[in-house]
Structure 1
Amino acid sequence: MIYVSVLQASLMAGPCTSGFFKWAALVLIATTATVTAQVCPIADYVSFNGVCYKDFAELKTYDEARQTCAADRGMLAMPKDSGTNTFIHNLGSNGTHWIGLNDLNNEGHWLFEDGKPLGNYSSWGPGEPNDLGGEDCVVVHGSTHDWIDVSCSLTRGFICQLGACPAGYGDDYGFGKCLYVHKRPLIYSMAIEHCQSMGGRIFQLDNAADVNVMKTIVERARATSNKYFGVWVGLTDEAAEGTFVWEDGTLSASGDFSDWAPQPYDHNSGRRDCVLMKPKFNWQWVVRNCGRAKNLFLCEPN
């Protein structure tokens, strides 16, 4: 869930002349102009009306094109208005490319890749769609940006689309995720409030790949911040001792991904309810006091 620039500034800057506060003030100034910009989570995608698109020139079948888009956590482009249809067509590097529209499940019942039916807008060429010889997938081509139904087994170029990041989020670190990196350590409740003020929550670690994302980003953040701080992971047992819950409300159940440090560092008590990862413990999870420990954190959009 990150597009032209990750907003990395601490919101605390004043007359202080320490290196950290100078850094915070400069980054805040540098990023202010881009906070409202629409940015894309993956390089080479371009934004149009809040959606990010990328042209793929290589020729693939409809299903292969689908899979390529899915690898970027996206879908084949879905032109649902004239402006988008024109933009998608002009973005393409060759004259004909797949769009995310088909009637594979029910002949004549056209569905976009997001499962929604074809609405009032369409751009069918003359005599199209004609299902000539079993044509269930759609390409766009020609100076008028016409749609034509063709066999899904043909190979064509294609356009993928992704959602753009909300204001304040970006992907300077290149992980294809909309994230905000806060480099000033805060207690857990203040970190939660900060993410909520941005319409998000603390970035949760769902798998080992997310751990690597967090480690890489935080190591870079620590290069310009206090190197002794860890990072909150969005997991606590504040509501019920021993029952850990993620910030989106889901339980951290047995069998789910976890990365607890070995004893005695992962010990829990009534005074220790919030989970963090820290280089001191080889970046594994430990439980600390939510109201006393201050740590860095990442936000992700809701």
Structure 2
Amino acid sequence: MKASIIWFIIIAKHVKDISSTACCEDGWISYNSHCYLIGQEERTFMAAHHFYDQQAAYLVRIDDYWENKFLKDLLRNLEVSDTWTGLSDQRSEGIWRWFNTYNHASMSDWGPGEPNNLGNEDCVGFYTEKNYHWNDFKCNRKLRPLCEKL
């Protein structure tokens, strides 16, 4: 009886691990029950949002230090240039919210001197030149989108 309980726990653990990684479609990257995709085509912030909205996904919303670290390491290891996140202060200057939910960012990882709103920069991305720290960009600039879905 004791051996069958231990065997059940081992199997249950592996099934959980398989299901948490199996949620992602081909080309998507799994982390902590979320799926991420780095877009190949550079787009403006709004064009990226609309494109991924049609794919039942959204520009990435970073919830904590570990998710941010995972994404920075991923982008750095793949040598991906600047990418959009879903963070913006378009509705109210200096109030950073995740696009489409309007929830405030619960953490930040701004690069040195950022955000600086240089020339009315309202949309946030990972900035290669600042070691993948966050940077505010003009929303009409074209960056590769980084999207997420559950």
* C-alpha distance in 2 between matches for 1:111 and 1:68: 20
Secondary structure at the aligned position of 1:44 is classed as coil
Match of 1:132 among 110, 118, 140: 118
* C-alpha distance in 2 between matches for 1:41 and 1:48: 10
- What's 1:157 paired with? 144
Secondary structure at the aligned position of 1:57 is classed as coil
CA contact (8 A) 1:102 1:136 kept: yes
Q: In the TM superposition, what whole-angstrom CA distance separates every residue of 1:86-123 from its partner, at most 9, and x where no partner exists?
A: 2223333522100110011111111013321012x210
* C-alpha distance in 1 between matches for 2:52 and 2:73: 19
- What's 2:82 paired with? 96
CA contact (8 A) 2:24 2:30 kept: no
* C-alpha distance in 1 between matches for 2:115 and 2:13: 46
CA contact (8 A) 2:59 2:85 kept: yes
Secondary structure at the aligned position of 1:58 is classed as coil
Greater Cα radius of gyration, structure 1 or 2? 1
Secondary structure at the aligned position of 1:106 is classed as coil
Match of 2:41 among 58, 74, 78: 58
What one-letter code is carried by the residue in structure 1 that aligns with 2:15? V
* C-alpha distance in 1 between matches for 2:117 and 2:28: 32
1:161, distance to aligned residue in structure 2 (A): 0.3
Secondary structure at the aligned position of 2:69 is classed as helix
- What's 2:32 paired with? 49
* C-alpha distance in 1 between matches for 2:32 and 2:12: 21
Match status 1:110 vs 2:93: no
Q: Structure 1's 33 and 56: CA in aligned 2 closer, same or farther, altered over 3 A? A: same
Secondary structure at the aligned position of 2:40 is classed as strand
Give unpaired runs (5+ residues) of structure 1. 1-30, 164-302
1:77, distance to aligned residue in structure 2 (A): 0.8
1:159, distance to aligned residue in structure 2 (A): 0.9
Percent identity over the alignment is 30
Question: TM-score scaled by structure 2?
Answer: 0.78
Match status 1:35 vs 2:23: no
Equivalent residues in 2 for 1:16-27, closer than 5 Å: none
1:32, distance to aligned residue in structure 2 (A): 7.3
- What's 2:132 paired with? 145
Equivalent residues in 2 for 1:1-302, closer than 5 Å: 35-36=15-16, 37=18, 38=20, 39-92=22-75, 93=78, 94-113=80-99, 114-119=101-106, 121-142=107-128, 144-163=131-150
1:66, distance to aligned residue in structure 2 (A): 0.7
Give unpaired runs (5+ residues) of structure 2. 1-10
Give 1 or 2: higher helix fraction: 2
The alignment of Structure 1 onto Structure 2 pairs a total of residues equal to 132
CA contact (8 A) 1:123 1:145 kept: no
- What's 1:8 paired with? none
- What's 2:5 paired with? none
Q: Structure 1's 109 and 40: CA in aligned 2 closer, same or farther, altered over 3 A? A: same
